[in-house]
Chains A and B, each alone.
Chain A
Amino acid sequence: MNFVSVTRTIMASVFCLALLIQMVPCAKTATAQSKSEPVDLRIYPETISLNGARDSHTVIAQTVFADGITAGVTEHLGLKIADEAVARLEFGRVFPMKDGKTNLTVTYKSFTKVIPVTVSNSRADEALSFQLDVMPVFSKTGCNAGSCHGAARGKDGFRLSLFGYDAEGDYFRLTREMLGRRVDVALPDDCLLTNKATNRVAHSGGKLFETDSEYYQVLKRWLEEGAKFDGDEVATVVSIQLLPENGLLSGEGASQQLNVTAHYSDGTTRDVTNLAFFSTSNSDSATVSQEAMVTGGRRGEAFVMARFDTHTVGSEFITLPRDLEFEDQQDLYPENNFIDTHINAKLKKLRIYPSQLCSDEQFIRRVNIDICGQLPTVEEVNAFVTDENPTKRSVLIDRLLCQDAFLDLWVMKWAELLQVRANRKTIYTKGAFLYFQWLREKFYNETPLNQIVIELMGANGSTFDNPPTNFYEVDRDQLKTAENVAQVFLGMRIQCAQCHNHPFDRWTMEDYYSFASFFAKVRVKPTADPREVIVSQGGGKETKHPVTGATMMPKYLGGNSPDVKGKDRRIVLADWIASAENPYFAKNVSNIVWAHFFGRGIVDEVDDVRISNPPVNAALWDALGQSFVKSNFNLKDLVRQICSSRTYQLSTQANESNQSDLTNFSHASLRRMRAEVMLDVLAQVTDTTNKFAGLEMGARATQIADGNTTNYFLKTFGRSTRESVCSCEVKQEPNLSQALHLLNGDTVHKKIKAGNLIGKWQKSGLNKTEIVEKLYLRILSRSPTESELKSVLATLAESEIESKKNSEVAAAERKSLEDLFWALLNSSEFMFNH
């Protein structure tokens, strides 16, 4: 390291330290009160209906305290059956005795609840069903999991379909693949199925259950009954219910018993708590055992899920510190719009106080970067800070929304989602460029987003004459197109369901292939120009289910099967997606926009909407979607709503109650500027230009049309390569390469030199204090603090003393000021939007 760089590094450290001091959060304490007297007792289920001799049902209980805290009290319940000839109690479980009706009386402290019990078919003890009884055992004990026999090639020579998507196949492999070994109806206790599961024969998966367990008894009885496959009509699970629906646990160790009830297509219900698989989204705050017991951990919220058959449902559990005192201070946090209402409601539930509003300097910088991908000028900062107008923040938002830079940013974001790039197989540079131009035109004309989707998905014709047709050239595989549509427009990743039923969501292979069927008829034919093709609807084979071979007709995800006869299926789908009634589209788009302004989505990742990844604030999510629909899918309106909210304008400085909250938007988060914005901003503050292939000199990185156009800086800072629709394409995590590139790479240093701002300012007669002030305002949108100014000026003075001649003083000053410039550009305060 030479002398210059040593000096530079030291100076940088001094400056950076000074800057960091500014950013240390200042904690603020908050207190609140919570009471611990139960005010209500909830018993689940509210009625018990037993059907058949083998049926039984558990009863669970939850008490509610005045402050909303809940507690599980199942084990403390007093239970009594009114007519023990109809039903009996055993270990808190209700079993049938004979057909009839009776009541179960539940008592706890001063509460008494009566649960009606109905018993029917008490004598019927039908043979076990492979699909209804045996396969759930495989799922519960993990036999058909991906790490075990559910792997694509099975495990140790035996394969089951992953999570049981292929019952017939499983039955075949179990009973026909190795005759006489896997199952033995003559000796049910001595065949591989029972021996392996109990580890009596060496089993890689170990012992799964004991011989006296309920699961073993199911397998044994099924074998004894001849190991038969089900008849033609087997009831299917229509839905499952996880109870209680939520819980507010007080302190570590607080627990709550759960209950899962399955509803079948034949109208019956069944307590499947012992067959459901349980998981939690945040084991730090709440764990769940496979015996259905939730236990509180550290402060926070968790989504506890139960999976049975193809269904997954969840309950929300919040754990608070034991005896937390909380005082409702809503009055101190005025609500700017509906966003704040929903955020505050959630924060109240979590006993969290939001942070204070950010300063004007922080706001103008934040909103400029977020809306336009640029920094405010020195003049703009000064004018804004001194502006007395109480609505100045709204005025600023409106002004920024009118700039082309705002549209460029969103054209870029959608170009990423739509993968606008020359893939050099189906799309060449011209196609990508025209596609981008089309998108840009749509945004510039303020076409409602749903309209853009309709135009995209229904596009016919040449990829040059009608560029949205390139949508179908990104990937000619109809399955991939279907997956992309689901991910981009509906925020769902349905890829799993291509090969097996989705393990964490409700999508089955039927859903997947029915959805893909919307794209079965897309036809592509070449033209005289090898870079151009014609996309149209027509011809093409129907989509087939790969397991059953059945022809799959179009069906909306989570919706019905539309009539597509004589229609362009893509347009039918587009109309559904883009309709105001669509349950996903508006919420998904508004979540994408939300995530841009907050660094994380209400559902996060934004394109991973699934039951097992619930929104942190469902009410807000719904409301945002409704608002977006109401504005006729107007992007500007949505951004205006978000930026106007108090939530967006909160400070990054946390208080005592919200410092551990990273998900509920109780304070603003530090967000590194994305690659393109950062490069543009660097050019802006250094008064230099960038050059990209296919764009004129000085064009901004956010205006890059072809996803392949990049440079080292953009690559290092995680620019999207547009190779997939995944939101994970854009990487905003800081890393060492980025820091090193800013420190030692040629971007910052060269730009400072090329722009020669310090030289120009010196020439115009500004003194060094003024220049320092200007630099701070230009780069950080704020003036230096007194201590910063003092420290900087002292450092400058030192370097000037070293200069021997007068003529060298100006040069030395310029050099030192450039070092300051460099240090400011390397500061976290510059790199992060805060």
Chain B
Amino acid sequence: MQNQTLQLGCRCLNALAMVILTSALAFAGSTPELHSVLPRGIQRGSEHTLMLQGARLNDATEVFFYGEGITSKSIKVVDNKKLEVVVEVAPDCRLGEHVLQVRCDQGISDFRSVFVGPYPTVKEKEPNNDFAAAEKVELNHTVAGKIRREDVDCFVVSLKANQRMTVEVEAVRLGTFLDSVISVYDSEKKEIAVCDDTELFSQDGFLSITAPLEGDYYVMIRDAAYNSNNDAHYRLHVGDFDRPQMMFPAGGQSGEVLNAAMLERQTPDMESVVQRPAADIQLPDMKQSSEVLSNGPSPLPLRVCAFENFNRADDGKNLKFQDALEVSTPIAINGRFATAGQQHFYKFTAKKNEKLAIDVFAKRIGSPLDPIINVFDEKNKSLVGNDDSAVRPDSFMVFTSPADGTYFLRVIDYFNRGGIDMIYRVEIAPVRPLLSLNVKRIDRFSQRRMAMAIPQGGRFATVLSAKKEHFAADVELKFDGLPEGVTAKMHPLNKNAKEMPVVFEASEDASIDLEKVTLSAKAKIKKTESKEGDKGDAKAEPVGPVFDTEFTLTSLDSRGNPNNFVYHPTVVDKLAVGVIKKLPFSITVEPLKAPLVRNGSAKVKVIAHRDEGFKEKIRLQFPYRPVGVGMTYQIEMKEDQTEIEYPINANKGAQLGKWPFYVIATANVSGPAWASSQLETVSVEEPFIAMSSKRTVVGRNETVKVVCQVEQLRGFPGDATAVLRNLPPHVTVAGPVNFDKATDAIEFELKTNDKTPFGQHKSIFVEVVVPVGEGRSVARAGNVVLQINQPLKQKPAIAMRKAAK
């Protein structure tokens, strides 16, 4: 009973603490959060009020969009957690997902999305779970609804004979996990069409029917296994729009006119496909992929490349290796397996060591094809192949030509299927050196600290993750379009590094503002045009760019089973960098005066500059760690503390070189506020000294000398000192031993007493402090083994033993 009371008491205390904490966080202020945007979709060409819900939003000053076409006209702060935002959507606004984010005076929120559609929206009203309760919907309207567990929503549409009706759902794309099934019933309640998943939009489906008779037609939507979230939003577009599943060819050369045909499924079982006559499409003048709009609610993907198309006729030939069609790379082949069992061969030439990326588009262009590719040499020997790439089931591989020669690419379908919709697009082009960048996640799924909110006169910092494909070089990064008064401090990205820290600084007078910043990069590579003999003299200097740079940030909200799989990541290609109100604190770190040697340690002195009266705890973290350098995750400065030392250490394998670092601080300023130190450098170097010693044996109450052999690894000026650390209790040693760069052995005199524990002590080490300039380098130079022996027990005399018996 006593325990129970105690537990109860603890619980009450916890609850109280929670209340206090929550009330502190509930105050408006730093680090605002945006959780949801309602309604999930709006019509273009009109004005709407969006309800934004989140936390710490009451100093919101701007709602900004990443794409063109939507502008925020006014913001009304309802309360700390809610904003009402009036937005205007341009009539030519791009359809589909648009990303928005809230800027507050003291922070920048997460980004979330809203969808733009062509039709006016009607809200679903429950109950509408069966035919009898079906809600009337007019054509060319969008129903905004919710599916609860085991919920079915039913709508009725009146159609004339031969009138077309297309239904498309946006559900998983909206960010909630609803694996929808849409079905259409005739007036006799007989199912005439159903769609679960589509290649184009995965879990989101669409279907079209042509009404055989005039009458009421029912549209039903539910979760495929009645297993959705209880609060799953959907947007159901019901109209007479065209809804092509794919186009053929599914891409073309940038700036050219593409003659392409739309393919559409229109029958109940979604099995047979109708191909509409080809029409001309003016392709945009862009480097890479784009999308073309249908007149329906969401876009149809279209590839745009720098190289031309090769469109093969539906001849049913090319079943044999010998009949390969000749193409010259780079090329985009558009093909179709019109009949089952076809194999398509293409012949191309490649130089020795030429690396060609062979990328097959099927699912990505809405095709049901499951391609498998292989490259053969002239002797019909398979060299390399691929079934599924990361974008399943599409195929991708890099083919490195083993010699100058002719090679054969074979494309087949996994199930040898054929049909008008069995289309593919193979792009063969030299590999594209690519640098992909993003902001390293702090949390597995949230967007915490992924927007750069820099306090006036202060700093904020982040770590960028970088992936280099098909090139190896140091890279210099540049942020384009930073707000005025903001600078980004960083070192070049090391050739071998996958992460790099960036510290943003805002001047005192920088105005509170925000920009969506792009990133560009240049390689620092050795001259490639130098002659063979010049290899040794080649200097590192920036040339290029020699690669493409991609920057993306991903919101991982649309998660579901299994394992929090992200079904629809929302991606932006710019970084939100903003200046926020000055914080009542900032921090700086003192530059390290000595290198951090392998097996060594150092202390980073962090100084907090508190405004008068600012008495919050400040927690410090070290978000970027060079390889082999470690430290505790977080240390804390007390309310009145202004200085603290953050210990760091390097292991024996720490990567050598000069590495940037920063310390980030957080304190409660009406919510968690973050400030970074300036960017500093730590030099990781080889140690100066290595020591070794033989096992030393001693008894209790004795004195012994431990002799350490000194290996001078590199010279140093002046005197260094050595001390023994981690000695067992009741062992004393005379003061530090001084030595210099010529010393080859040192001695420590140890004393034991009558309490010194017996046994072997292996964790003793020699710590050496070497003077380097104004600083001192501290390192473990070697281990010492000390054995404290127990005196041998005297065996009792035989007579004694007998007597004892």
Q: Which residues of A are in contact with B by a Cβ distance under 8 Å?
A: 424, 428-430, 432-434, 460-461, 464, 525-531, 534, 536, 693-697, 705-706
CB neighbours (8 Å) of A434 from chain B are: 224-225
Contact of A429 (CB < 8 Å), options: B225, B370, B388: B225
Stretch at the interface among B275-283, B561-569, B590-598: B561-569
Contact of A534 (CB < 8 Å), options: B152, B225, B393: B393
Stretch at the interface among B117-125, B196-204, B455-463, B744-752: B196-204
A464 CB → nearest B CB, Å = 6
Contact of A694 (CB < 8 Å), options: B179, B196, B227: B227
Q: Which of A430, A695, A706 has the most CB of B within 10 A?
A: A430
Q: A428-B562, A460-B415 are in contact. Are A529 and B224 (CB under 8 A)?
A: no
Chain B residue nearest in CB terms to A433: B225
B289 CB → nearest A CB, Å = 18
Which chain B residues in 707-747 approach chain A with CB under 8 Å? none
Q: A464-B196, A529-B203, A530-B562 are in contact. Are A432 and B225 (CB under 8 A)?
A: yes
A348 CB → nearest B CB, Å = 54
CB of B392 within 8 A of chain A? yes
Since A429-B561, A694-B150 are in contact, a sample of 18 more A-B pairs with Cβ atoms closer than 8 Å, ordered by chain A residue number, is A430-B224, A430-B225, A430-B227, A434-B224, A460-B415, A461-B415, A464-B197, A525-B387, A525-B388, A528-B202, A528-B391, A529-B202, A529-B203, A530-B565, A531-B562, A534-B370, A695-B226, A696-B152
CA distance A434 to B179 in the complex (A): 13
Chain B residue nearest in CB terms to A461: B415
Pairwise interchain contact A528-B393, C-beta atoms closer than 8 A: yes
A228 CB → nearest B CB, Å = 51
Pairwise interchain contact A526-B225, C-beta atoms closer than 8 A: no
A177 CB → nearest B CB, Å = 45
Pairwise interchain contact B202-A694, C-beta atoms closer than 8 A: no
Chain B residue nearest in CB terms to A530: B565
Pairwise interchain contact B414-A534, C-beta atoms closer than 8 A: yes
CB of B363 within 8 A of chain A? yes
Pairwise interchain contact A695-B150, C-beta atoms closer than 8 A: yes
Q: Which of B129, B203, B225 has the most CB of A within 10 A?
A: B225
Pairwise interchain contact A696-B562, C-beta atoms closer than 8 A: no
CA distance A430 to B560 in the complex (A): 12
CB neighbours (8 Å) of A536 from chain B are: 414-415
Pairwise interchain contact B415-A429, C-beta atoms closer than 8 A: no
B177 CB → nearest A CB, Å = 11
A selection of 16 A-B contacts at a CB cut-off of 8 Å is A424-B562, A428-B561, A429-B561, A432-B225, A434-B224, A464-B197, A525-B388, A527-B392, A530-B565, A531-B562, A534-B393, A694-B150, A694-B226, A695-B226, A705-B225, A706-B225
Which chain B residues in 388-414 approach chain A with CB under 8 Å? 388, 391-393, 414
0/1 per residue, B408-428, Cβ < 8 Å to A? 000000110000000000000
A299 CB → nearest B CB, Å = 55
**CB < 8 Å A-B pair total:** 63
B509 CB → nearest A CB, Å = 51
CB neighbours (8 Å) of B196 from chain A are: 464
CA distance A159 to B434 in the complex (A): 63
CB neighbours (8 Å) of A695 from chain B are: 150, 226
A761 CB → nearest B CB, Å = 29
Chain B residue nearest in CB terms to A706: B225
Q: Which of A433, A531, A705 has the most CB of B within 10 A?
A: A531
Q: A536-B415, A694-B150 are in contact. Are A530 and B563 (CB under 8 A)?
A: yes
CA distance A180 to B225 in the complex (A): 68
Contact of B393 (CB < 8 Å), options: A464, A527, A694, A697: A527
B152 CB → nearest A CB, Å = 8
CA distance A429 to B415 in the complex (A): 26
Q: A430-B179, A534-B370 are in contact. Are A526 and B563 (CB under 8 A)?
A: no
Pairwise interchain contact A528-B363, C-beta atoms closer than 8 A: yes
Q: Which residues of B are in contact with A by a Cβ distance under 8 Å?
A: 129, 149-150, 152, 179, 196-197, 202-203, 224-227, 363, 370, 387-388, 391-393, 414-415, 561-563, 565
Pairwise interchain contact A531-B197, C-beta atoms closer than 8 A: no
CA distance A529 to B203 in the complex (A): 9
CB neighbours (8 Å) of A460 from chain B are: 415
CA distance A432 to B225 in the complex (A): 8
CA distance A304 to B227 in the complex (A): 54
A404 CB → nearest B CB, Å = 16
CA distance A433 to B562 in the complex (A): 16
CB neighbours (8 Å) of B363 from chain A are: 528
A568 CB → nearest B CB, Å = 12
Chain B residue nearest in CB terms to A526: B392
A279 CB → nearest B CB, Å = 49
A710 CB → nearest B CB, Å = 15
Pairwise interchain contact B225-A696, C-beta atoms closer than 8 A: no
Pairwise interchain contact A694-B392, C-beta atoms closer than 8 A: no
CA distance A706 to B203 in the complex (A): 20
Chain B residue nearest in CB terms to A464: B197
CB neighbours (8 Å) of B415 from chain A are: 460-461, 536
CB neighbours (8 Å) of B563 from chain A are: 530
CB neighbours (8 Å) of B129 from chain A are: 696
Q: A433-B224, A695-B150 are in contact. Are A531 and B393 (CB under 8 A)?
A: no
Pairwise interchain contact B227-A429, C-beta atoms closer than 8 A: yes
CB neighbours (8 Å) of B370 from chain A are: 534
CB neighbours (8 Å) of B149 from chain A are: 693
- Closest 7 pairs (CB-CB, A-B): A433-B225, A430-B225, A694-B226, A528-B392, A429-B225, A429-B227, A530-B565
A268 CB → nearest B CB, Å = 54
CB neighbours (8 Å) of A433 from chain B are: 224-227
Chain B residue nearest in CB terms to A697: B150
CB neighbours (8 Å) of A531 from chain B are: 561-562
Pairwise interchain contact B388-A694, C-beta atoms closer than 8 A: no
CB neighbours (8 Å) of B197 from chain A are: 464, 529
Pairwise interchain contact B150-A696, C-beta atoms closer than 8 A: yes
B164 CB → nearest A CB, Å = 26
CA distance A563 to B211 in the complex (A): 50
CB neighbours (8 Å) of B414 from chain A are: 534, 536
CB neighbours (8 Å) of B202 from chain A are: 528-529
Q: Which of A424, A528, A696 has the most CB of B within 10 A?
A: A528
Chain B residue nearest in CB terms to A699: B150
Chain B residue nearest in CB terms to A696: B150
Pairwise interchain contact B388-A526, C-beta atoms closer than 8 A: yes
A187 CB → nearest B CB, Å = 51
Q: Which of A432, A696, A697, A706 has the most CB of B within 10 A?
A: A696
CA distance A528 to B390 in the complex (A): 8
CA distance A149 to B215 in the complex (A): 79
CB neighbours (8 Å) of A696 from chain B are: 129, 150, 152, 226
CB neighbours (8 Å) of B203 from chain A are: 529
Chain B residue nearest in CB terms to A436: B225
CB neighbours (8 Å) of A429 from chain B are: 225, 227, 561
CA distance A526 to B414 in the complex (A): 13
CA distance A428 to B415 in the complex (A): 24
CA distance A694 to B148 in the complex (A): 11
Q: Which of B393, B563, B565 has the most CB of A within 10 A?
A: B393
Chain A residue nearest in CB terms to B225: A433
B180 CB → nearest A CB, Å = 11
CB neighbours (8 Å) of A527 from chain B are: 392-393
CA distance A706 to B225 in the complex (A): 9
CB neighbours (8 Å) of B565 from chain A are: 530
CA distance A531 to B129 in the complex (A): 27
CB neighbours (8 Å) of A428 from chain B are: 561-562
CA distance A467 to B591 in the complex (A): 65
CB neighbours (8 Å) of B561 from chain A are: 428-429, 531
CA distance A401 to B480 in the complex (A): 75
CA distance A60 to B439 in the complex (A): 91
Pairwise interchain contact A694-B391, C-beta atoms closer than 8 A: no
CA distance A827 to B224 in the complex (A): 41
CA distance A460 to B370 in the complex (A): 13
Chain A residue nearest in CB terms to B150: A696
Chain A residue nearest in CB terms to B391: A528
A667 CB → nearest B CB, Å = 44
CA distance A526 to B388 in the complex (A): 9
